Amino acid sequence: MFQKILIANRGEIALRVLRAAKELGIQTVVVHSTADADAMHVRLADESVCIGPPPSRDSYLNIHQIVAACEITGADAVHPGYGFLSENAKFADILAAHNITFIGPSGDHIRVMGDKIEAKRTAKRLGIPVVPGSDGAVSDEGEAKRIAAAIGYPVIIKASAGGGGRGMKVARSETDLVEALQTARSEAGAAFGDDAVYIEKYLEKPRHIEIQVFGDGAGKGIHLGERDCSLQRRHQKVWEEANSPALNEEQRTQIGGICSRAIADLGYSGAGTIEFLYENGEFYFIEMNTRLQVEHPVTEAITGIDLVHEQIRVASGGGLSVRQEDIRFHGHAIECRINAEDPKTFVPSPGTITHFHTPGGLGVRVDSGVYSGYRIPPYYDSLIGKLIVHGRNRVECMMRLRRALDEFVVDGINTTLPLFRELVGNPDIANGDYDIHWLEKHLAETQ
Ligand code: MV4
């Protein structure tokens, strides 16, 4: 097991990882920018190192500073959290070259999944169902037209270096296609320095369902069920739940089995998420994330498995603590992302939290790095906490969520809490009847 883990992140996820390390009896080091000197994870860590000024590129993305902080403190492993350097293959490689363990997959696995064309090719080879489309990059107009005609309009053009919704264009006709191909390629070239694009059938009203997987790096793979992340705005997830209201046990076992076998065949190590669009009873792979995700607590709630403990165990060579046949899915869990934003306009609302009171009681978890009197710096993303509620079934979970939202007090700044108080009473949400466009449509209608 590791002696000392350095946490290369901030906010609620830094605290989340710190807690797991402490529980395992591992010393903790945090790195932070000058803007985060007052953060909770800095106070709770055994050691902290200031690595630079507020802008992320000069601190949380500064690989050399982070490696230096490992050398100075004698950390033997780094947990990257999510965002920042968590999916940076070069970072994983550099740490390996310094004999520091990156708590995550190999640089090569990160690299493959970071290239969306390569990721899709790999998924297909491993028997994962993919969206019909081009076999690889498409640059030629005639080839694009032939593929689109074969799969049928509408189609979507995606940047291979994109992901997470960046660099996509929908084409509903051949006329659209010619323009979309040109714009997509030049935008991808400008944004990512790689103008490779590919074509897929455009799915009109899918749900976003992702499968949590784990590999032990030695040929074992497991899945921990799915999360439904369809409720999103501008590619930012807002509400996530497990299980998906759209799936039954048989579908879960089937897609989960496909994913765990793929992870085993890949020789993948650590936590991963295989993302699908789900429409008319079919799954279509879109991307794989090679990190822990923001919404991992809903999976923890229904499985009782600590995903960060598992990440640390696997990375240290201790293997997974659970076998597939030991994993059960209990009840239902929902996570609400509480952002420091205006609940109508979503304009960020940094500033001082004058009063912070979190809900509690059975089945209620709050992951947050903020406290009463804390000043939210304006430099980073606006997530200030996550409310995760668990119940024996979805109805109980929703009742408990309504109660927990009523207890939550955040004064001094705007937050998205009022949005959740409204959503929890919405009939479509109560029925689990929503797709990836539902929230944006709802917000447009209720403006
Ligand atoms: C799609 C799609 C429809 N058809 N691909 C957006 C994020 C990126 N991960 C993939 N995305 C999409 N790919 C096909 N073939 C619709 C989206 C999409 C979306 C997907 C998941 C969650 C929210 C979304 C919002 C808009 C579009």
Ligand 1 close to Cβ of residue 205 (< 6 A) = no
Helix, strand or coil, per DSSP, at residue 189: helix
Q: How far apart are CA 335 and CA 111, in angstroms?
A: 30
424 Cβ below 6 A of ligand 1: no
Tens of pLDDT, residues 166-210: 779 999 999 999 999 999 999 999 999 999 999 999 999 999 999
- Rounded Cα distance, 15 and 12, in Å: 5
What is the Cα–Cα distance from 385 to 390, expressed in whole angstroms?
A: 17
Is the pLDDT at 162 greater than 90, yes or no?
no
| β-pair type (332-339, 351-352) | unpaired
The neighbour count for residue 305, using CB atoms within 10 Å, is: 19
Beta bridge partners of 5: 28, 77
Note the pLDDT tens digit of each residue in 219-244: 999 999 999 999 999 999 999 999 99
pLDDT at residue 115 tops 80: yes
The Å distance, Cα 435 to ligand 1 centre, comes to 11
Least confident of 64-68, 185-189, 238-242, 358-362: 185-189
Determine whether the shortest distance from the Cβ of 202 to ligand 1 is under 6 A.
yes
Residue 18 has pLDDT above 90, yes or no: yes
Q: How far is the CA of 316 from the centre of ligand 1 (A)?
A: 35
Q: Which two tokens stand for residue 309?
A: 């403990």
| Distance between CA atoms of residues 316 and 3, nearest Å | 10
CA of 351 to the centre of ligand 1 (A): 33
**Omega before 154 within 30 of 0, i.e. cis:** yes
Report the percentage of the chain scoring pLDDT > 70. Answer: 100
Give the position, in ligand 1's atom list, of the atom nearest the Cα of 436: 23
pLDDT surpasses 80 at 165: no
Mean pLDDT of the chain: 97
The alpha carbon of residue 199 and the mean position of all alpha carbons in its chain are separated, in whole angstroms, by: 24
Angle at 242 between CA 251 and CA 356, to 5 degrees: 170
* Mean pLDDT value of segment 15-29: 98
Cα(318)–Cα(95) distance, integer angstroms? 20
Which residue is closest in CA terms to ligand 1's atom 7? 165
Pocket probe mutation, ligand 1, options 156, 169, 199, 288, max atoms within 8 Å of Cβ: 156
Q: How far is the CA of 165 from the centre of ligand 1 (A)?
A: 6
Would you mind telling me the total number of residues written for the chain in this entry? 447
Supply the pLDDT for residue 11.
98
pLDDT at 447: 81
Tokens of 348: 């960020």
Q: Does the pLDDT value for residue 412 go beyond 80?
A: yes
Q: Is the CB of 358 under 6 A from ligand 1?
A: no
Q: Give mean pLDDT, residues 234-263.
A: 98
Regarding pTM above 0.85, the answer is yes
Q: Is 291 one of the catalytic residues? A: yes
CA–centroid distance, 42 to ligand 1, in Å, is 37
| Cβ contacts of 13 within 8 Å, gap of 6 or more | 81, 82, 292, 294
Alpha helices of 116-267 — where are they, by DSSP H? 116-125, 141-151, 174-192, 249-266
Q: How far apart are CA 418 and CA 410, in angstroms?
A: 11
**What SS3 state is found at 322?**
coil
Decide whether any atom of ligand 1 lies within 6 Å of the 169 Cβ: no
Q: What is the structure's pLDDT at 9?
A: 98
pLDDT band at 164 (very low <50, low <70, confident <90, very high): confident
Q: pLDDT digits over 38-50, tens only?
A: 999 999 999 999 9
Residue 378 Cβ inside 6 Å of ligand 1? The answer reads no
436 Cβ inside 6 Å of ligand 1: yes
**Helices and strands (H, E) in the chain, number of each type:** 15, 20
Does residue 53 contact residue 65 with C-beta atoms inside 8 Å? no
Q: What average pLDDT does range 288-315 have in this prediction? A: 98
2 in Cβ contact with 313 (< 8 Å): no
Distance of CA 153 to CAs 174, 175, 182, 257, Å?
8, 11, 18, 32
Burial of 445 (0-12, 13-18, 19+ CB in 10 A): exposed
Ligand 1 midpoint to CA 63 (Å): 31
pLDDT at position 167 is 79
Q: Give the closest residue (by CA) to ligand 1 atom 5.
A: 202
- Quick one: average pLDDT of 349-361? 98
CB contact set of 202 (below 8 Å; sequence gap of 6+)? 153, 154, 155, 156, 170, 171
Q: How many CB atoms are closer than 10 A to CB 70?
A: 23
Q: Is 238 near ligand 1, meaning CB less than 6 Å away?
A: no
| Rounded distance from Cα 425 to ligand 1 centre (Å) | 27
Neighbouring-strand partners of residue 78 = 6, 102
Q: Is the CB of 418 under 6 A from ligand 1?
A: no
DSSP 202: P
Whole-angstrom CA distances from 267 to 106, 108, 271 are 10, 11, 12
Q: Choosing from 16, 111, 227, 291, which is the catalytic residue? A: 291
Instruction: For residue 123, give both structure tokens.
Output: 């998924």
For residues 155 and 167, the model is more confident at 155
